[in-house]
Amino acid sequence: MPAGSDTLWDIAIAEVEKRENAEGDDEGVEISEKSVLFMGNKNGGKTTIILRCLDREESPKPTLALEYTFGRRARRHNRPKDIAHFWELGGGTSLVELIRIPITSSNVKAFAIVLVLDLSKPDELWTTMESLLQVTRNHVNKILTKLGKTNPEVATEIKQRMWNNLQKDHPDYELVDPFPLPLVIIGSKYDIFHEFDSEVRKIISKTLRFVSHYYGASLVFTSKSEALLLKARILINNLAFGFDKSKSVSVDHSRPLFIPAGLDSLNQIGAPPASDSDIGKLHANTPLELWKKVFEKTFPPKGSCDLQYTRDPAQDLQYAEYEVDVMRAQKKQCF
């Protein structure tokens, strides 16, 4: 607060000194740098979610393989902006091996996964989820094994962090198997899903609640609705920029689900949606396998070839280049 006797010049000098001191304080502030990989159903809405998180008014375009962008956010006023690297895997499950490119031993400590599942296609849901998470988990585990030899402290820190979302006194602590990286599962196209029969919605919702809880993941249903996109953005901003995540919970199956990691329980989720006699006929070695068999009995999965099929971009007319196409045609004739 300037004194009453201060001249305009004195006030200006004081303001400059104040700003210089603030900038000096920032020099010791470490800029956070994190990475997030979006994967899921083809045409499931991943690009739309990314653009909304970055406040970009662009029309989403099909993702051919693996695409990259980044965003910057300041966690507090007058502080340097943290950086988040956003990767998007296109092609559904067909290009899952490309996850090896963004997830490396140098960045795995600050990496997170967002799995976007199309709620309007329940017959693709489990296969898509299982394939993408399994390959990702295997790749991360290999990285952690190598880090255990070269940098055991980092490997131990990552493994311990897997359990951060579940307190040791949680009744399900011994019954879950947390994913090795922070994970958010997004059920997209809720507007279409909402038109499904209530019993169908309940089966899908309960199953995704179980899977999310089992993997120590957050779960949110979203659509093009601004309010629902905002909820997804809250969880993603927590992964990407370290913002506080909401502690509110919505588990009503007649409404969009919103369950941050660690705030659900097997007791609240209940048993798999099948009769005791049906469950007794199913042979499963783990709770996850039991839920899978119950789910796929209601929604028989598409063949893997159907899910992995992706049109050759070289044949797509929207990428036509006359000179290149002529040369390719000539080359084919030579063989």
pLDDT in tens, 228-262: 999 999 999 999 998 888 889 999 999 999 999 99
Please give the pLDDT value at position 203. Answer: 96
pLDDT band (50, 70, 90) for residue 276: low
Task: Dump pLDDT digits (tens) for 75-95.
Answer: 766 678 889 999 999 999 999
pLDDT band (50, 70, 90) for residue 335: very low
The half-sphere exposure of 153 on its side-chain side, counting CA atoms within 13 A, is 0
Please give the pLDDT value at position 233. Answer: 93
Please give the pLDDT value at position 330. Answer: 54
**Mean predicted confidence (pLDDT) in 64-70:** 91
Residue 26 has pLDDT above 70, yes or no: no
pLDDT band (50, 70, 90) for residue 13: low
Please give the pLDDT value at position 58. Answer: 83
Tokens of 222: 């979203």
Task: Dump pLDDT digits (tens) for 38-59.
Answer: 999 999 999 999 999 888 888 8
Please give the pLDDT value at position 322. Answer: 55
pLDDT band (50, 70, 90) for residue 320: low
The neighbouring-strand residues paired with 227 are none
Can you tell me the distance from the alpha carbon of 214 to that of 84, in angstroms, rounded to the nearest whole number?
27
Can you tell me the distance from the alpha carbon of 206 to that of 209, in angstroms, rounded to the nearest whole number?
5
Can you tell me the distance from the alpha carbon of 115 to that of 11, in angstroms, rounded to the nearest whole number?
53
Can you tell me the distance from the alpha carbon of 291 to that of 297, in angstroms, rounded to the nearest whole number?
10
pLDDT band (50, 70, 90) for residue 303: low
Please give the pLDDT value at position 334. Answer: 52
The most confident of 64-68, 199-203, 329-333, by mean pLDDT: 199-203
| Nearest Cα to Cα of residue 116 among 106, 124, 104, 108 | 124
* Architecture of the structural domain at 33-308: 3-Layer(aba) Sandwich (3.40)
Task: Dump pLDDT digits (tens) for 110-161.
Answer: 999 999 999 999 999 999 999 999 999 999 999 999 999 999 999 999 999 9
Which strands form 33-40's sheet, in the order they lie side by side? 66-73, 82-89, 33-40, 111-118, 183-188, 218-221, 258-259
Mean pLDDT (the chain, rounded): 85
DSSP 96: G
Contact status, residue 241 vs residue 34, Cβ threshold 8 Å? yes
Kindly give, in sequence order, each residue whose CB lies less than 8 Å from that of residue 149, ignoring residues fewer than 6 positions away.
Answer: none
In one letter, which amino acid is 149? K
- Only one residue has tokens 């049906």, namely 278
Which of 26 and 86 is assigned the larger pLDDT? Answer: 86
Please give the pLDDT value at position 122. Answer: 97
| Nearest Cα to Cα of residue 95 among 145, 33, 46 | 46
CB atoms near residue 34 (< 10 Å): 19
Please give the pLDDT value at position 328. Answer: 63
Which of 280 and 93 is assigned the larger pLDDT? Answer: 93
In one letter, which amino acid is 218? S
Given the DSSP bridges, would you call strands 66-73 and 82-89 parallel, antiparallel or unpaired?
antiparallel
Ranges of each domain in the chain: 33-308
Please give the pLDDT value at position 309. Answer: 45
C-alpha dist (Å) from residue 235 to 108, 120, 241, 261: 19, 22, 10, 10
Residue 196 has pLDDT above 60, yes or no: yes
Can you tell me the distance from the alpha carbon of 125 to that of 188, in angstroms, rounded to the nearest whole number?
11
